[in-house]
Structure 1
């Protein structure tokens, strides 16, 4: 997949976070809890879908949770593509953290939270390691990309933590640096492009279509 220059097929991966939920507004850790979109979240998905349709995606895959399935359905509606759902694209399972607000996590599990922010391998709330999330999600993305035509585009509809860890794995960053990628806003996306040296991060937390890089770093 990431071979020499002659093998590069110029494919792209768009990793799209779901729209707003009530728990997002409350800063409540969702994890694998199945929370629906708000009306605003659905409107965000519709707006973003109209933009992403202009990229003429070839395939859409999505987490099977309601917030991602509803987001993906908006892009399917404007492109005519089907959506393949896979539970491996779900958000990080975070055990007892799930359902707690950010302030409650800091109050009850402050040391664990601080260790995670330092880049240490932490099972937040007794749940998954970030590397385990990447190990289940990244292969699903890679298998889907392998089915694309040359120059094709895959849209992956998932969750903020899962997208960050998947990007980190695909572009070869050490796991303790994945947090440097930062979070994604609701219904924003990141874009990876295929190069002779592997996948390259072209856009991160974007809300408009990618523009060509015109400069010395191209």
Structure 2
């Protein structure tokens, strides 16, 4: 059995405002609150034990979160570019309300179909799914029988969960993954996965 422990990065200055922050815009680091969340998550992971490897998105907020865990667990961190957040195109830095006001038709299309990109040539959810699936398959092959900490963003982590549940694409928009939350997936065979926990924030107090 291979286990993926999914950790969303801690808060950035944009997180409390619920602004879209993908790979096509700025690359903010953790806020002071986010650094505290990363420390709390690292402590929770140390209490959990058993983690044998850490892989992270290349984006600054994830690398900072991952390095708190690595320092606490005594592990190195491997960066995988395909764990980056989606590119939200012209929506980068906007709230959903602002996107709804400025790009209503494009937003409706994006919510309805994984083949529709954000305005301005962003990434489709189908493209995100393709690269996240490749990461999952590589992790399961490289770390068979082990437990791996995956530090990433809402989009890729929701995608891993959706794929594990064999759920349709629109379910991505019905999952809450708070900053510095932990979720756990186990894999017993190709195509056989189980969700053990979702959006666990008990360590955040």
TM-score by length of 1: 0.83
Q: Supply the distance in 1 between the matched residues of 2:147 and 2:81 (Cα, whole angstroms).
A: 21
Distance (Å, rounded) in 1 between the aligned partners of 2:61 and 2:104:
28
Instruction: Work out the CA distance in 1 between the residues paired with 2:114 and 2:73.
Output: 41
Which residue of structure 1 lines up, in the alignment, with residue 123 of structure 2?
Answer: 128
Q: Determine the structure 2 residue equivalent to 1:194.
A: 187
Aligned mates of 2:202, 2:150 — CA distance in 1: 17
SS at match of 1:155: strand
Alignment of 1:170-181 (within 5 A): 170-180=164-174
Inter-partner Cα distance in structure 2 for 1:176 and 1:44:
29
Cα distance, 1:111 vs. partner?
2.5
Residue from 158, 173, 184 that aligns with 1:164: 158
Q: Deviations over 1:149-206 (max 9, x none)?
A: 53x21111000011112222344323243333x1310000211112456111111111
* Structural mapping, 1:39-188, within 5 Å: 39-53=32-46, 54-119=48-113, 121-125=115-119, 126-150=121-145, 152-180=146-174, 182-188=175-181
CA 120–55 in structure 1, closer or farther in 2 if over 3 Å, else same: same
Task: Identify the residue that residue 26 of structure 1 maps to in structure 2.
Answer: 17
How far is the alpha carbon of 1:208 from its aligned partner? Answer: 4.1
- Which segment is superposed worse, 170-179 or 130-139? 170-179
Task: Give the Cα separation in 2 of the matches to 1:176 and 1:119.
Answer: 8
Give the gaps of 5 or more residues in structure 1: 1-9, 210-218
Shift of 1:101: 2.5
Question: Does the CA contact (< 8 Å) of 1:119 and 1:179 recur in 2?
Answer: no
Moved over 4 A (4+): none
CA-CA distance at 1:147 after TM superposition: 2.1
Unaligned runs of 5+ in 2: none
